[in-house]
């Protein structure tokens, strides 16, 4: 399993990276953690003629709260989040998900940005970011823009970004009181992609009802999906068992899985239901714990 | 006086000698071999399961800088090497000519100066195919509209063999008059041993000396040397096979694969060393798979639970070539061991083998030639019968066990079991697991709507092939060997005909010698795997190393002792009949303080031999066992089921094994841990599947699932000891028992968990999805 | 021939420079170019972990990184676990507890274990099992590997510093 030959670029700065991208366009492939790209290249499923290695660009490595957001640099490794006290205490949905992506060695290398841009519907971060209603900070040679997560995924392995654009970081609203989230992933073994994954993030209003909710679904559609109807169902409710059950049923209905070796469409829909309920219950518990 | 403990003799948990290199990363595996002028070979494989090859265009590949040669089946045909014999009296393509018969089949070999050149060359080979109808379901193989796969055979049918064992009429008669009968279809799915090291070789043709040296991932280097001599026409003394450290085998490295042959041909052609390293995709899609047995088990019993007869009908999917790596005289190997641990009036087994568009194989994956299928079948069927009778599964087994005083026991299908005490193993396992408490807990949980299950498997294994009259590879009888040299200073070099793949032979065989010769383990070196130095042997698989080569080792040592006794008498100046071997030394009878050690005698053997005795102290033994050995045990598995997702988790697993005399308890326990883990993997996740086009699903570790440390249960092991009466040290072999015996325990546990919902059987691998389906069909939801 | 890039990598404490094709995987660089055959190759998809090495102290799979990416970085292979002839406690413990059989996954397992102990001196069994879950073993069933890492943890705690060179009951 030997990749095809390619030209290797290691820009010394973000500005350099942007100009290389601008010049090479579709011929270039960005290399972040490489944990999906390199295996694909070994199988020659991907044969990019040029690789732009982003590793070492410090601008892409920030992981901090500022200006009412948590900023997660595109090169932040899954393991950094899994091991982060900040994530565990204030962003449990992030910590939950980071701990179940691939395996611990892959997590030491794989990055949040790389995973999002890969746009694999079985990727875990897409659902998490949908639940958080994240935004991506995107740069190109001649400017920058903010891309809401709902506008990122076009279809499997395809995003709305231009080849000259580069995600520098992802931002999610800074944690506040009365918030909680959880990630539930059903996998056949450690290191497997999700059969189904569900990310939930909840903010309780002062009266204990659900003031805001985000639910993202993994591996049940062409992209990570927002369970919008389920969110609507839960919004304003008291997040009791009945509300959770009907939201979970909604999520199952709006998912769009396909059958494969992991199970039938019906099974996966039911897993969306079961896991959504479990994720919501844990989110509510966590949210109440901080009220 | 030295003790067995000090020597590191039988029963001691001696730390492994081989670990010194492994923990330093200094193991030497085939891909670690680096030679000057090395070239690299990359195989081109078929993307189709069944297709006519219209054209192979190698021109673009040959233009790539660094590509040295492209070999096709047509090239090999000129040397009469495009086909090679299999171990099951069939033939197999080395590189495809005419058509391809399974996805991943070897079509061409590209040799390059570097790995890059070889891979780029392989990518540039253009093959035009015309797709043919694909046959994947073995049940359709014999239907009139099924495509005939093997045009090379005289008989134009997909049927390979029909084999029967036992008395059909007498068995049918019992069924017709029985109080109770059950019938259960079950599939032992296609799976793959998937050792972490894939297959590899380095072929190095020395044109000056006309000698071919091949480093090869081989479980049977001598047999492979003979195969190379027969297939390639090279003189056997000019072939040297070296099987260095092997990164796991489990049966995968028994057959000869096309990559080896291509590398040898390329080296002969180029006059340079050629390295072929298989990738995982090639390993899983083209090398020896295991099982694919579509079985029906019928049991007849009295209403009191006395099992009277077993009837088995099986369809065996052998893939495109019958390359089952099994050396018995029987097409379905030892499958008729399927009466298991039970005393039956009669039994009848029939098996039909068929061709399909899948990879060849049918190798003995951590088992002896279909014993795994057999043990699973009977242990699963007994549980189905228990369910039918409403009887406790432990009780039903106990009631039907062959009793200790019945040994040697001849089964109705013709095997003679050497020794056993099945009830003792069952009792021990039930006691450790706390069976009564578990049954109570299960009852309470069921009342609360929680789902737990208890599964039992009381298996009997059959290992240690030969005898030579029953087993051979291309006529080579399945003996095995050991050659022992005691040096003048009392240090020992021993060489054995079997080949380790992690079993620790360098340690355990030294322990046998330590025990027999009274020489410390530290003073004994055991070598194997190099056909230029080791005595001829048939290799390591089927748990045959200890039963066969272990016996050869003990007997070779005893030959040394016989000669040494004469020398000892001479040294002590007494008559030979006044000398006895006792407490690890030669002693004068009645005056045990007058003694000489083996080391003393060794020195004398080279310096002071009595008249009429040859100098030196060496012996060799080729051992043809009088019978196989029959390890056994009882496993108990406890599982909890998540009724929301269908996930099942092993909460407890108790394994009581009886492998006769234990040489090294630490190593035996390690073997059991490993075998149980493979049994768990097979029951829970390992599956080589195909889509309707014959495309393999499970050709890499993304889809062919192997358990990690997180899924793998914690094993609780214990033992009983019932020595084999016919083995020189009473040992039976253990490597395979846990993989043979455990799948039924896992499946029985999950099925038991679901039995309140009318579930009687689920085929392996038992995925969460299958459990969920069974629960939903019964109306159970989270 | 294809263009090459020059790299300088600190491997087991020694700086090594080489010209490599960008597509050369780190594991092939270590094995074929530097002759460090401790890291093994067992799959094509980054699942088996036989090729595990430490990159700046962090365990990663060297089949899923290009050698050019290691330029300027520090790498430890199993060959670097032994220092001045003294074994790392994890190496001792693997032998002591029969944490290996065929030895093929062993370098990766030991490095994953050593990395865990470097950041968590007293891991629970669950933490150990998780830490080695990117490394597949077909021989041992993992149980004795877990035991060995626990033993190494105790040995390291006993000294307050990595205990080296201690062997029991056999030839190390």
Each residue of C67-126: pLDDT tens digit? Answer: 999 999 999 999 999 988 899 999 999 999 999 999 999 999 999 999 999 999 999 999
Cα-based torsion angle of the residue sequence A280, A283, A289, A291 in order, rounded to the nearest 10 degrees? -90
CA B378 from chain centre, in angstroms, equals 20
Nearest to C94 among B23, B32, B503 (CB): B23
Which stretches does DSSP call E strand in A174-259? 179-186, 196-204, 210-218, 225-226
B 121-150 residues with CB < 8 A to C = none
> How close, in Å, is residue A110 to chain C by CA atoms?
10
Quick one: A39 and A108 in the same domain? no
CB-based contact (8 Å) between B703 and chain A? yes
Quick one: A131 and A211 in the same domain? no
CATH code, A87: 3.30.465.10
Query: Is residue A155 a part of any domain in this protein?
Result: yes
Whole-angstrom distance, CA of residue B577 vs CA of residue A123? 79
Place of tokens 């099942």: B648
Give exposure, B473-497, as e/b (b: 16+ Cβ within 10 Å).
Answer: beebbbbbbbbbbbbeebbbebbbb
Chain A positions touching B42 (Cβ under 8 A) are 2
Domain boundaries, chain C: 5-80, 89-159
B-C contacts at Cβ under 8 angstroms: 198
Query: Is residue A157 a part of any domain in this protein?
Result: yes
Quick one: A20 and A111 in the same domain? no
- pLDDT at position B87 over 90: no
Are residues B710 and A189, on separate chains, in Cβ contact within 8 Å?
Answer: yes
The ipTM (two decimal places) reads 0.97
Quick one: A83 and A136 in the same domain? yes
Question: Tens of pLDDT along B504-526?
Answer: 999 999 999 999 999 999 999 99
CA B375 from chain centre, in angstroms, equals 14
CB-based contact (8 Å) between B712 and chain A? no
Please tell me the total count of domains within chain A: 3
Query: Is residue A2 a part of any domain in this protein?
Result: no
Are residues B248 and C138, on separate chains, in Cβ contact within 8 Å?
Answer: yes
Strands B274-277 and B239-242: unpaired
Whole-angstrom distance, CA of residue B395 vs CA of residue B378? 16
Q: What residues are paired with A169 via a beta bridge?
A: A73, A137
Quick one: A157 and A217 in the same domain? no
CA angle B412, B413, B419 (to 5 degrees): 75
Label residue C161 by pLDDT band (50, 70, 90). very low
Three-state SS at A278 = helix
Contact predicate B197/C103, CB 8 Å: no
> How close, in Å, is residue C170 to chain A by CA atoms?
33
Question: For A218-222, B233-237, B419-423, which range has the lowest pLDDT when averaged over its residues?
Answer: B233-237
Are residues B767 and A263, on separate chains, in Cβ contact within 8 Å?
Answer: yes
Contact predicate B763/B186, CB 8 Å: yes
Which has the closest alpha carbon to A191: A75, A99, A74? A99
Are residues B711 and A190, on separate chains, in Cβ contact within 8 Å?
Answer: yes
Alpha-helix runs per DSSP H in A6-157:
14-24, 37-42, 78-82, 85-90, 92-98, 104-107, 112-118, 124-132
Q: What residues are paired with B100 via a beta bridge?
A: B51
For chain A, give the mean pLDDT. Answer: 97
Question: Tens of pLDDT along B361-385?
Answer: 999 999 999 999 999 999 999 999 9
Average pLDDT value for residue range B316-329: 93
Burial label, B548 (beta-carbon count in 10 A; 0-12, 13-18, 19+): buried
Query: Is residue A215 a part of any domain in this protein?
Result: yes
Quick one: A112 and A165 in the same domain? yes
Quick one: A194 and A282 in the same domain? yes
Contact predicate B256/B217, CB 8 Å: no
pLDDT of residue C159: 63
Look up the domain containing A104 and give its range: 61-173
Enumerate domains of chain B plus CATH numbers.
4-26+479-623 (3.30.365.10), 33-132+197-247+253-286 (3.90.1170.50), 373-464+628-777 (3.30.365.10)
Quick one: A87 and A122 in the same domain? yes
CA angle B537, B539, B543 (to 5 degrees): 125
Strands B716-719 and B648-658: parallel
Does the fold of domain C89-159 match that of domain C5-80? no
B367 is catalytic: yes
Label residue B680 by pLDDT band (50, 70, 90). very high
- pLDDT at position B156 over 80: yes
Are residues A102 and C130, on separate chains, in Cβ contact within 8 Å?
Answer: no
Whole-angstrom distance, CA of residue B695 vs CA of residue B357? 10
Query: Is residue A273 a part of any domain in this protein?
Result: yes
> How close, in Å, is residue A285 to chain B by CA atoms?
19
Are residues C102 and B666, on separate chains, in Cβ contact within 8 Å?
Answer: no
CB-based contact (8 Å) between A6 and chain C? yes
Query: Is residue A126 a part of any domain in this protein?
Result: yes
B477 is catalytic: no
Question: Tens of pLDDT along B599-654?
Answer: 999 999 999 999 999 999 999 999 999 999 999 999 999 999 999 999 999 999 99
Are residues A270 and B707, on separate chains, in Cβ contact within 8 Å?
Answer: no
pLDDT of residue B231: 83
pLDDT of residue B473: 87
Question: Residue B214 gets which letter from DSSP?
Answer: E
Taking only Cα atoms into account, the Rg of chain A, rounded to an integer number of angstroms, comes to: 19
Q: Which of B12, B199, B201, B367 is catalytic?
A: B367
- pLDDT at position B426 over 90: yes
CA B715 from chain centre, in angstroms, equals 21
CA B152 from chain centre, in angstroms, equals 30
B366 is catalytic: yes
Give the homologous superfamily in CATH for domain C5-80. Answer: Beta-grasp domain (3.10.20.30)
In chain B, DSSP finds a helix count (H) and a strand count (E) of 19, 34
Cα-based torsion angle of the residue sequence B132, B133, B138, B141 in order, rounded to the nearest 10 degrees? -100
Query: Is residue A253 a part of any domain in this protein?
Result: yes
Assign domain C89-159 to a CATH class: mainly alpha
Contact predicate B484/B513, CB 8 Å: yes
Whole-angstrom distance, CA of residue B332 vs CA of residue B326? 8
CA-to-CA dists, residue B310 to B242, B393, B721, angstroms: 45, 17, 29
Whole-angstrom distance, CA of residue A223 vs CA of residue A226? 9
Question: Tens of pLDDT along A117-142?
Answer: 999 999 999 999 999 999 999 999 99
Whole-angstrom distance, CA of residue B722 vs CA of residue C4? 64
Question: Tens of pLDDT along A54-108?
Answer: 999 999 999 999 999 999 999 999 999 999 999 999 999 999 999 999 999 999 9
pLDDT of residue A37: 97
């Amino acid at each position: 399993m030997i990749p095809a030959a390619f030209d290797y670029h290691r820009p010394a700065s973000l500005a350099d990276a942007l100009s290389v991208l601008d010049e090479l366009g579709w011929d270039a492939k960005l290399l972040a953690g490489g944990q999906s790209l390199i295996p694909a290249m070994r199988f020659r499923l991907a044969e990019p003629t040029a690789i732009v290695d982003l590793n070492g660009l410090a601008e892409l490595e920030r992981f901090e709260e500022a200006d009412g957001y948590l900023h997660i640099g595109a090169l932040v490794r899954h393991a950094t989040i899994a091991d982060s006290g900040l994530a565990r205490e204030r962003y449990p949905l992030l910590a939950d998900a980071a701990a179940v992506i691939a395996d611990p060695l892959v997590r030491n290398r794989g990055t949040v940005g790389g995973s999002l841009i890969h746009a694999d519907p079985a990727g875990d971060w897409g659902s998490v970011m949908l639940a958080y209603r994240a935004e991506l900070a995107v740069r190109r040679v001649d400017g920058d823009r903010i891309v809401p997560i709902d506008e990122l995924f076009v279809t499997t392995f395809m995003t709305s970004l231009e080849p000259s654009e580069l995600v520098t970081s992802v931002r999610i609203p800074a944690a506040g009181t009365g918030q909680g989230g959880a990630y539930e992933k059903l996998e056949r073994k450690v290191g497997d992609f999700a059969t189904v994954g569900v990310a939930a993030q909840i903010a309780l209003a002062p009266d204990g009802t659900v003031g805001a909710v985000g639910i993202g679904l993994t591996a049940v559609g062409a992209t990570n999906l927002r369970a919008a109807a389920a969110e609507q169902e839960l919004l304003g409710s008291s997040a009791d068992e009945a509300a959770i059950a009907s939201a979970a049923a909604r999520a199952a209905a709006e998912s769009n899985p396909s059958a494969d070796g992991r199970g039938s469409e019906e099974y996966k829909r039911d897993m969306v239901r079961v896991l959504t309920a479990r994720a919501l219950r844990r989110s509510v518990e966590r949210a109440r714990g901080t009220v | 006086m030295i003790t067995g403990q000090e020597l590191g003799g039988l029963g001691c948990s001696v730390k492994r000698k081989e670990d010194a290199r492994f923990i330093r990363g200094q193991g030497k595996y085939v891909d670690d071999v680096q030679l000057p002028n090395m070239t690299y070979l990359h195989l081109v494989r078929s993307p189709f399961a069944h297709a006519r090859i219209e054209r192979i265009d190698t021109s673009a590949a040959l233009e790539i800088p660094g590509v040295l040669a492209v070999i096709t089946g047509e090239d090999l045909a000129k040397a009469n090497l495009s086909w090679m014999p299999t171990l099951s009296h069939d033939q197999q393509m080395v590189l495809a000519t005419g058509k391809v018969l399974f996805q991943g089949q070897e079509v061409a070999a590209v040799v390059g100066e570097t790995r890059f050149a070889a891979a780029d060359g392989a990518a540039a080979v253009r093959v035009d195919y015309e797709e043919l109808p694909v046959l994947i379901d073995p049940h359709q193989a014999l239907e009139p509209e099924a495509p005939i796969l093997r045009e090379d055979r005289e008989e134009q049918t997909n049927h390979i063999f029909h084999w029967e064992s036992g008395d059909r009429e007498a068995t049918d008669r019992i069924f017709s008059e029985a109080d109770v009968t059950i019938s259960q279809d079950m599939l032992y799915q296609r799976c793959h041993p998937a050792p972490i090291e894939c297959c590899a070789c380095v072929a190095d043709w020395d044109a000056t000396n006309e000698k071919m040296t091949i480093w090869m991932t081989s479980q049977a280097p001598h047999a492979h040397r003979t195969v190379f001599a027969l297939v390639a026409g090279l003189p056997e003394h000019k072939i040297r096979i070296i099987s260095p450290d092997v990164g796991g085998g489990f049966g995968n490295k028994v057959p000869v694969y096309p990559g080896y042959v291509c590398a040898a041909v390329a080296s002969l052609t180029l006059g340079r060393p050629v390295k072929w390293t298989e990738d995982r995709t090639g390993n899983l899609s083209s090398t020896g798979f295991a099982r694919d047995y579509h079985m029906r088990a019928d049991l007849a019993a009295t209403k009191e639970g006395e099992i009277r007869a077993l009837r088995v009908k099986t369809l065996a999917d052998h893939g495109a070539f019958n390359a089952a790596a099994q050396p018995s005289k029987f097409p379905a190997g030892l499958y008729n061991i399927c009466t298991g641990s039970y005393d039956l009036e009669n039994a009848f087994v029939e098996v039909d083998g068929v061709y399909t568009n899948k990879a060849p194989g049918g190798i003995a994956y951590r088992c002896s030639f279909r014993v795994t299928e057999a043990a699973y079948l009977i242990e699963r069927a007994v549980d189905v019968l228990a369910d039918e009778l409403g009887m406790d599964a432990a009780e039903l087994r106990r009631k039907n066990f062959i009793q200790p005083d019945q040994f040697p026991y001849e089964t109705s299908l013709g095997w003679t079991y050497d020794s056993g005490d099945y009830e003792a193993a069952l009792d021990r396992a039930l006691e450790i697991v706390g069976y009564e408490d578990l049954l109570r807990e299960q009852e309470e949980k069921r009342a609360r709507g929680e789902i737990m299950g208890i599964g039992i498997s009381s298996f009997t294994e059959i290992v240690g092939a030969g005898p030579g009259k029953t087993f051979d590879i291309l006529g080579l009888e399945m003996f095995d060997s050991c050659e022992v040299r005691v040096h003048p200073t009392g240090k020992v070099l021993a060489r054995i005909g079997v080949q380790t793949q992690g079993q620790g032979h360098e340690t355990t065989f030294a322990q046998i010698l330590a025990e027999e010769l009274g020489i410390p383990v530290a003073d004994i070196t055991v070598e194997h795997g190099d056909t230029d130095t080791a005595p001829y042997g048939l290799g390591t698989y089927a748990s045959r190393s200890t039963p066969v080569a272990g016996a050869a080792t003990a007997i070779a040592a005893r030959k040394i002792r016989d000669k040494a006794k004469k020398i000892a008498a001479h040294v002590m100046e007494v008559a030979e009949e006044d000398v006895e071997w006792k407490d690890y030394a030669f002693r004068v009878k009645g005056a045990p303080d007058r003694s000489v050690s083996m080391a003393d005698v060794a020195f004398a053997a080279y310096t002071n031999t009595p008249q009429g005795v040859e100098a030196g102290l060496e012996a060799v033994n080729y051992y043809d066992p009088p019978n196989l050995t029959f390890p056994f045990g009882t496993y108990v598995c406890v599982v909890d089921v998540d009724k929301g997702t269908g996930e099942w988790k092993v909460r407890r697993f108790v394994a009581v094994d009886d492998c006769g005399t234990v040489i090294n308890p630490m190593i035996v326990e390690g073997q059991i841990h490993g075998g149980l883990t493979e049994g768990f993997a097979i029951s829970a996740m390992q599956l080589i599947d195909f889509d309707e086009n014959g495309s393999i699903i499970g050709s890499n570790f993304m889809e062919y699932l192997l358990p990690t440390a997180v899924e793998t249960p914690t094993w609780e092991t214990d033992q009983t000891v019932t020595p084999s009466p016919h083995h020189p040290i009473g040992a039976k072999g253990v490597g395979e028992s846990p993989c043979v015996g455990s799948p039924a325990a896992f499946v029985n546990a999950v099925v038991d968990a679901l039995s309140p919902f009318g579930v009687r059987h689920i085929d392996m691998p038992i995925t969460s999805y299958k459990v969920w389906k069974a629960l939903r069909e019964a109306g159970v939801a989270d | 021939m294809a263009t090459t890039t020059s790299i300088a990598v600190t491997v087991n404490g020694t700086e090594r420079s080489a010209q490599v094709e960008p597509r050369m995987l780190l594991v092939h660089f270590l094995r074929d170019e530097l002759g460090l055959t401790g890291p093994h190759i067992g799959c094509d998809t980054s699942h088996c972990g036989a090729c595990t090495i430490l990159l700046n102290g962090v365990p990663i799979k060297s089949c899923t990184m290009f050698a050019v990416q290691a330029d300027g970085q520090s790498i430890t292979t199993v060959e670097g676990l032994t220092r001045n002839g003294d074994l790392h406690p994890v190496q001792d413990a693997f032998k002591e507890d029969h944490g290996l059989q065929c030895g093929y996954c062993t370098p990766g397992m030991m490095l994953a274990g050593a990395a865990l102990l470097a950041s968590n001196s007293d891991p629970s069994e669950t933490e150990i099992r998780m830490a080695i879950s990117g490394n597949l073993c077909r021989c041992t069933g993992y149980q004795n590997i877990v035991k060995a890492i626990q033993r190494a943890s105790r040995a390291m705690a006993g000294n307050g510093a990595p205990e080296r060179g201690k062997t029991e009951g056999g030839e190390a």
